[in-house]
Every structure is written in C-alpha cells, then in structure tokens.
Amino acid sequence: MDIGTSSIKAAMAEVHGQDVHLLGITEVPSFGLRKGSIIDIESTAKSIDNCLSELERLTGIEIYSALLGFSGVSISVVNNHAVIAVANPTYEITQEDKERVLNSARNLSLPLDKAIIQIIERQYIVDNYDGVKDPVGMVGSRLEAEVSIVVGAIAAIQNLQRSANRINLHVDNLMYTALLGAESVLTPSEMEMGVVLVDIGGGTTEVTHFEEGSVLQTSVLPIGGEYITKDLAIVLRTSMEEANRIKERHGVASPDMAKSDLMINVHNIQGKDAREVSQQVIAEIISARVIEMTELIYAELKQFQCLNRMPGGIVLTGGGAELVGFADIMEEYISVPVRLGLPENMKGLPTDFNRPQNAVVLGGILYSARQRAVKHEDTSRIFGLIDRITYWLKDLFR
C-alpha cells in the first residue's frame, strides 16, 4: 500500500518463482493526512479500509496484512559505520558476526521523538577489502559495515500503526516510499553510478540520491501536486476538485507549451456557472509553481553536493511527474538529463498501470517478491543441510 496525502493505493500480485503476476491495483481519495503526516487517525483508517475493500472486491481475495509505504517531512537518512572483531577462532565470518556489526551500526544518538524505520546495508569491509555485499562465509579478523539508516518521527510511525490497527490490518513492513519507488523505476546501473530520484506526490516531494547501489541522502519537501492545484483553485475561483480536473486534462508546465486559442470551461466553487479560460492563462499559473518547486529541488541537490556525482541524472516519478512538460522544465533549469520514471521494472505490466503515479505501490510488490525469494532460498538451504545431515546419520548407522 502507498499511503499518500491525496490518495491511497493498494496492489496485489501472485508470485511464482521469478514471475510476478499483478492481480489488481485500487486507488481511493485519502482523508486525514496533510503533507504526508496523519492528522486524523479515524479518517485515515477509513480511507485505508476503503482501498483494501476495493482490492478485495477486485481480486476476490481477503486481505489481512500488507506492506505500507509512507513519507513525511520528518524523514531523513543517517549514514553510519561500525567495526567489530570476528569472534570465530577460525576467523570465518558467521551470521552472528554479521548481526553483531549491524546491531553496532544501529547505535545512534537520536532525539527522543525520532526512531529508526529501516536499515539499508550499503557494504561490508573485511580486513580493509571493501565492496563486500554479504560477508558470511568469508575469512577475516575485522568486519566493518557501512549502512544508511532511515529515521522518522515516532509519532508519525505510531499514528500509521494505529490507523492500521483500527481496521485489524497487520503491518508486515513499514517502508519509506522513495525506496519503494526506486524498486520499480531505477535500473541497477543508475543506482550504482549515481542517480537522483524525485518523487512528486500530492503533499510532499522526496528527493533521494542513490550511489553504489543504495541510498546516500534523502529529504522530504513539504510541497507536491496539491501545491499547484491549490493555486489554480484560488486564481480561477473554483473548487479543488475542478482545479485538479483542469490540471490533469489541460495542464502544461510552461506557457510556451500551451495553445492560446484553446479555451477551457471552468466551473465556479458551487459547480454551477462556468466561464471560459484560455490554456495559456492556466499554463502561466502552473508555470510559476513548477519553477518554484524546481528551485527547491535544485537547492536540495546543492545541499547533497551531488550535482557532479549523478551520471544517471534525475528520474522524475510520482503523480506530480505526469504534468506535461515538467521533466523538460527541470532538465532545462538544472542542466542535467531528466527522464520520466515509469514502473517498467515490473514485466508484463498493462499499459493503463504503467504510470509514474503507480511507481511506489508497484515497487512495494517487487520488494515483497524479492524478499520472499530470499526467504525461500534461505529455507531451501536449511532444509538441504538437514537432508544432508539425515543422509549422513543414516549412512553412519547403516
């Protein structure tokens, strides 16, 4: 599930080995959230329940648990490093050694209102040899771990958990939405060389720098697609729903892209009377906010000091990225390549679902499928070992 400010999305898939077959996606309006944070638990719980009920009707399968993706301005990433001495007399690194170094890396001095959401293993270093992805089974006397730790406000995490508890939904996992979006839209080579993912949601925009295969830095800006919609509603003196319809159907990111002779009907706040406004005027209103948002994103990139460390450029995703011309404006302003982030890492996706707004929810499916494959592999390895021991014992007492 993607718990967003303006909408909540849920997706379900069937996994057969390496094959992931999408069963359905549902989307409902989101109530009770502002800029990614829950301000009304009851309303949020009802929105989540409505979304899951729609998915149950669509698939015919009852839902008891889910992975939840969420964002919020309290989220940040802390990079940490830990070192331990290998305890094994033979110096073979065990799973216990790996867990010890990760536990050591978790030891952060955090403010009382912050908590760790998840830990991302960037690399291990064995006796000064870096770039190790999994040290278990290697030989060495010194084991180091470099990790990225996603931190968020305790209140935000607890409010999301409580919203899920209200409808008896078990939370399998809680993940930062930018990491789920990366699963579906970024390529391994982009993440290795250096790339920035900009996910424009309804109330927030996540700016995340990936390098050497994992996240290095991230920040959440308190602006999103609703920032543009609200301006349209105020200037055109119409409702938010009507402003959003106009933005989605006729909106462009620059007046240069608009047709001056194209006139659009705009209803008043009551939805009764209508007047005609040119696409040019609408584009001018949108353009001011698009430039402002791009300036804020550029400021974050300068803060990250990554403008010269992103050969993959910028990948623009999320519902806000679907505004015609947004990627072009950003590319021109920041002077780096910008491409639209479609969830193309999910093979065989129907065209209707292959949209930036579905990047996070489909990324959650891919992440869950990959985690299940890892668990299955570990289980198979354990049962294989038991089979070999059983065979050895039988042979011993034959």
The yes-or-no verdict on residue 385 having pLDDT over 60 is: no
Is the CB of residue 329 less than 8 Å from the CB of residue 256?
Answer: no
On the question of pLDDT at 169 being above 60, the answer is yes
Residues 142, 194 within the same domain: no
Q: Is 321 exposed, middle or buried (0-12, 13-18, 19+ CB in 10 A)?
A: buried
Contacts of 285 (CB under 8 A, 6+ apart): 231, 232, 235, 236
277 & 193 share domain: yes
pLDDT in tens, 110-167: 889 999 988 999 999 999 999 899 999 999 999 999 999 999 999 999 999 999 999 9
Q: What is the CATH number of the domain that holds 332?
A: 3.30.420.40
Residue 379 has pLDDT above 50, yes or no: no
pLDDT band at 35 (very low <50, low <70, confident <90, very high): confident
What pLDDT was estimated at residue 318?
96
The answer to whether residue 389 scores a pLDDT higher than 80 is no
- Determine the Cα–Cα distance for residues 170 and 118; give it in Å rounded to an integer: 18
> pLDDT tens digit string along 73-105?
889 999 999 999 998 888 999 999 999 999 999
Q: Which of 321, 343, 365 is the last residue of a domain?
A: 343
Distance CA 2, CA 265 (A): 33
Q: Which position has the higher pLDDT, 122 or 18? A: 122
- The tokens 């989220």 sit on which residue? 75
Per the structure, the count of domains in the chain is 2
**How confident is the model at residue 373, as a pLDDT?**
67
Per-residue pLDDT tens digits for 197-220: 999 999 999 999 999 999 999 999
Are residue 217 and residue 99 in the same domain, yes or no? no
323 in the same domain as 264? yes
280 shares a domain with 209: yes
Residue 111 lies in a domain: yes
Say if CB 130 and CB 114 are below 8 A apart.
no
301 vs 308: CA distance, rounded Å: 10
- Predicted local distance difference test score (pLDDT) of residue 388: 56
**Within a domain: residue 67?**
no
CA 396 to chain centroid: 53
In a domain, 51, yes or no: no
State the pLDDT at residue 100. Answer: 94
**Confidence (pTM):** 0.89
Read off the CATH number of the domain in which 126 is found.
3.30.1490.110
Residue 351's CB is within 10 A of a number of other CB atoms, namely 6
State the Cα–Cα distance between residues 237 and 239, nearest whole angstrom.
7
The answer to whether residues 128 and 259 belong to one domain is: no
Question: Other C-beta atoms within 10 Å of 237: how many?
Answer: 11
CA atoms of 108 and 149, how far apart (whole Å): 9
Domain that holds residue 243: 188-343
173-182 residue pLDDT tens: 999 999 999 9
Q: How many Å apart are CA 384 and CA 377, to the nearest integer?
A: 10
Q: Return the pLDDT at 270.
A: 85
Tell me the pLDDT tens digit for each residue of 220-253.
999 999 999 999 999 999 999 999 999 999 999 9
Q: Give the C-alpha separation, 71 to 79, whole Å.
A: 19
Residue 183 lies in a domain: no
Task: Single out the residue in 314, 343, 372 at which a domain terminates.
Answer: 343
Residues 209 and 102 in one domain: no
pLDDT-derived band at 63 (thresholds 50, 70, 90) equals very high
> Residue 374 has what pLDDT?
60
The per-residue pLDDT for 391 is 52
Q: Is 175 in contact with 364 (CB distance < 8 Å)? A: yes
Contact 201, 319 (CB under 8 A): yes
The beta-strand segments (E) located in the chain are 2-3, 7-16, 19-29, 33-34, 37-38, 65-70, 76-85, 114-126, 129-132, 142-153, 170-176, 195-200, 205-211, 214-221, 263-267, 274-278, 314-317, 338-340
For the chain, helix, strand, coil in percent to 5 are 40, 30, 30
Q: By percentage, how much of the chain surpasses pLDDT 70?
A: 93
Q: Say if residue 112 is in the same domain as residue 195.
A: no
Q: Are 144 and 125 in contact (CB under 8 A)?
A: yes
Q: Looking at the predicted structure, is the pLDDT value of residue 378 above 60?
A: no
CA distance readout (Å), 167 to 44, 113, 170, 379 = 10, 26, 9, 32
Distance between CA atoms of 306 and 210, rounded to whole angstroms? Answer: 10
**Domain boundary at 100, 134, 153, which?**
153
For residue 171, tell me if it sits in a domain: no
3-state secondary structure 235-247: HHCCCHHHHHHHH
CB-based contact 227:197 (threshold 8 Å): no
Query: Once rounded to an integer, what is the mean pLDDT over residues 244-266?
Result: 93
